[in-house]
Chains A and B, each alone.
Chain A
Amino acid sequence: MTDLTQTNLTQKQVRERIAARLASRHRKEKIFRGFGIASIAFGVLAVLVLFTDIISKGSSAFVQSQIQLQVNYDPAELGIDKVDQESLAWANFDGVIRNALRERFPDVTGRSEKRELYSLVSSGAGFDLRERLQNNPELLGQSETVWVNADDDVDTYVKSLSKSKDGFLGRTSEQKAVWINALRDSGELKKRFNKTFFTNGDSREPEQAGIRAALVGSLFTLLVTLVLSFPIGVAAAIYLEEFAPKNRWTDLIEVNINNLAAVPSIVFGLLGLAIFINFFELPRSAPLVGGLVLTLMTLPTIIISSRASLKSVPPSIREAAMGMGASRMQVVLHHVLPLAMPGMLTGAIIGMAQALGETAPLLMIGMVAFIVDVPHGITDPSTVLPVQIFLWADSPERAFVERTSAAIMVLLAVLITMNTCAVWLRKKLERRW
């Protein structure tokens, strides 16, 4: 006020000036908020576009066209007289399916026409029947009605019918389309829930391809990563933050950890190839090696976030514990660590989520591969979800397009589950002071 009186302004002028500036300040604030809202809206829009695109493309992969057949487990046709492992391996289940198809369409003659007819059904259907007979040996010599998977070309055609009237014939011949439509009209061809997608490993036949092997592989890899990186990372952070003297060496280590966090992940893959596979001779394509490589990659993230959360524990807590006569180790283990735990867990989950989506380092250690068998341990060959997505996106078969999107949905579901766990854990462990 003294300032203003010195420049001889009346009170009215002062008020006017303030009012004029106030308007511009309000405008600026509005623009600032506008930018904030716009950037959030952009983010939400991007997520919406991504999700609608993936869901609209991928949701159809959760159903699969199946054909109803009246099959007869005729011992003569199968070429077996009893149900046991050995004879089942040689039994001619394709013949049984072919008979069933011929019975359904009796007027099909000629070799090439018959071949067309047989290709309505997935080449894996015989194996499904084999499994069924193995589990129910009493069916030998009996007839029953079963639903078998249709071939992927048929499936693509049937699904395209819901989008346009004529559908996309593609590799499906006109003759085949006639049969397909006849089956559809009589209710013998239906889109049913695609169980195979969740029970099978990869396959080159889209209708037999599933996500199971990649999902289990991802879980094994993440398990190895978590078991190794969390204790090591937390121990390193505690030592550096609570015990280590501050000198040139610890500075050097700190700089290096920060640098490691920014190293491109493919470099860790090369390191893994050189050390774990070539030197220690661990098996290629195994979740064990994948987990070790991803551990190296996530360690810096976990160490940095753990140190940050240790730092945020107020010194008064340490001092109070010391004052009560606790040793330094007791201070850390009984007081500081429990308080810092929520922050450490968040860091670990971020690191894990990053590891879950990683493909580049796995390329070098052979996990970018075609794996059919579901892995049973951390040394069995396996692949991971993002690799499966990549491989399917690269396949020529049309039916893999929808499966690619479906696999992305599964990956996102895993990610969301992990993040939810992190939020829940943090809420549960959080303490206020």
Chain B
Amino acid sequence: MNNRSASKKVLASALAALSIAASNAALAARDHISIVGSSTVYPFTTVVAERFSRATQFKTPVVESTGTGGGMKLFCQGVGENTADITGASRRIKQSELEMCNGNGVDVVEVQIGYDGIVLANAKSDQRFELSRKDIFLALAKDVPNPDGSETLVANPYKTWKDVNPALPAHKIEVLGPPPTSGTRDAFAELAMEGGCQQFPWVAAKEKSDKNAYKAICHNIREDGAYVEAGENDNLIVNKLAANPNALGIFGFSFLDQNADKVQGSLIEGREPTFDSIADQSYPVSRPLFIYVKKAHVDVVPGIKQFLAEFTNERAWGEDGYLADKGMIPLHDSKRQQVATDVRKLNALTNLAVK
């Protein structure tokens, strides 16, 4: 009898403790920064978060990798303890997202942090590809301009790289890349594919006359098996490439940097993807990376100002900073200075046209 009542007491007190802890937590203000957003920016925000907490007395920010779009949704939900303070984006915020944010009473501060390059790589055991954006477009688009030269579209007829461009090897076209939900895929379509399809003047002319048709031609990737969706995990793509020398893969530059023994980046428009070629923008497939900060939280959640100061410090995002070491390509000196001063002023973003 004694035993049973004792165990009952333990159980009851455990439940009571649980509920008290829960109610306390709901009342207490959050004491750590909460960051969401792009999986491309995640590796960089996490490094800054870690260094920031070690250098200061603040708690380590909690960083979630939700994807650019998912991050915007969480971020723009409103102001309050249960919403994120900062979101990372591998593209600029869209007008619709900005309106959603402002509609929910969220003022955002934009901080461009650097660049990222997207590479098309293959196994080191095979020869290096030398591609143009036109080759990429013709090899991967769902519909391509008719090879006979008329201004019509046909379903992509190309089977091998040699069909696309006689200078390329006779390998079957097989490209492993991220799924449509990925920011990398968006950026790839915009920078590589669109850059290629603009070289057909009649398609480029459509940009003004029929924007939707233009987007459909330039951004739609073929679905007949030549493009293989390999998931969001870039390591997986690297390993698959090592096992399949005929395939090409699409992923971020930092994965190329870390796996230089297994894969090599293809030359695009004659430029090899290297740290320098992405930084000076001569490598064509590179994109800007941003973080967006919720202005209303800056003085409420402890440490946001200091976190931004750490992020925009030369030792972090500078030419020799630790972010560069992690594979982020830094902004130019003058641009860095300008962004750093803007960040200190915390000017809210109102209109996207103002760059």
Contacts and interface: CB of A to CB of B under 8 A. Distances in A.
Most B-side CB within 10 Å, residue of A369, A391, A393: A369
A169 B326 CA distance: 17
A284 B34 contact: yes
B312 interface: no
Interface stretch (B147-155, B187-195, B255-263, B329-337): B255-263
A428 B210 CA distance: 76
A352 to B, nearest CB: 17
Contacts of B327: 396
Interface in A247-290: 277-278, 280-286, 288
Contacts of A168: 261
A372 B55 CA distance: 14
A370 B63 contact: yes
Nearest to A90: B55
B230 to A, nearest CB: 13
Interface string B118-133: 0000000000000000
A29 interface: no
Interface in B2-54: 4, 11, 14-15, 18, 21-22, 24-26, 30, 32, 34, 39, 42-43, 46-47, 49-50, 53-54
Contact of B64 (A282, A286, A288, A368): A368
Interface in A112-143: 115, 123, 127
A171 interface: yes
A374 to B, nearest CB: 10
A169 B259 CA distance: 10
B320 A227 contact: no
B25 A203 contact: no
A177 B54 CA distance: 30
Nearest to B74: A366
A398 interface: yes
Contacts of B60: 371-373
Most B-side CB within 10 Å, residue of A168, A204, A333: A204
B104 interface: no
Contact of B25 (A127, A170, A379, A394): A379
B254 to A, nearest CB: 5
A396 B258 contact: yes
A170 B260 contact: yes
B14 A227 contact: yes
Interface string A366-387: 1011111100011101000000
B322 interface: yes
A169 B258 CA distance: 11
A278 B57 CA distance: 30
A371 B62 contact: yes
Interface residues of B, number: 47
Given A171-B260, A381-B32, A396-B257, A281 B50 contact: no
Nearest to A112: B320
Contacts of B53: 372-373
Interface string A183-214: 00000000000000000000111000000000
A371 B50 CA distance: 9
Nearest to B57: A89
A89 B58 CA distance: 12
Given A280-B26, A285-B62, A394 B50 contact: no
A398 B62 contact: no
A379 B22 contact: yes
B62 A377 contact: no
Given A171-B260, A284-B82, A394-B235, A372 B32 contact: no
Contact of B26 (A89, A283, A373): A283
B275 to A, nearest CB: 11
B222 interface: no
B233 A378 contact: no
Contacts of A393: 233, 235
A395 B30 contact: no
A227 B50 contact: no
A127 B51 CA distance: 11
Given A283-B30, A393-B233, A366 B62 contact: yes
A62 B257 CA distance: 25
Interface string A21-32: 000000000000
Given A227-B14, A277-B82, A377 B21 contact: yes
Contacts of A369: 62-65
B54 A224 contact: no
Interface string A158-180: 00000000001111000000000
Interface in B231-287: 232-235, 252, 254-255, 257-261
A391 B46 CA distance: 12
Interface in A359-418: 366, 368-373, 377-379, 381, 391, 393-398, 401
A281 B14 CA distance: 21
A56 B50 CA distance: 30
Nearest to A126: B54
Nearest to A368: B64
B59 interface: yes
A224 B327 CA distance: 40
A396 B235 contact: yes
A127 B254 contact: no
A395 B64 contact: no
Contacts of B320: 115
A428 to B, nearest CB: 16
Contact of A395 (B43, B49, B232): B43
A102 to B, nearest CB: 18
A208 to B, nearest CB: 8
A127 B54 contact: yes
A366 B64 contact: yes
Contact of B62 (A89, A228, A281, A370): A370
A398 B34 contact: no
A368 B46 CA distance: 13
A316 B43 CA distance: 64
B65 A170 contact: no
A379 B29 CA distance: 12
A282 B4 CA distance: 33
A281 B26 contact: yes
Nearest to B46: A370
B59 A373 contact: yes
Given A369-B65, A396-B255, 5 more contacts: A170-B261, A370-B62, A373-B59, A395-B235, A397-B258
9 contacts: A204-B47, A227-B15, A283-B25, A288-B21, A366-B62, A371-B60, A379-B22, A395-B43, A396-B254
6 A-B pairs with the lowest CB-CB distances in the bound complex, closest first? A379-B25, A370-B63, A372-B60, A369-B64, A370-B46, A204-B47
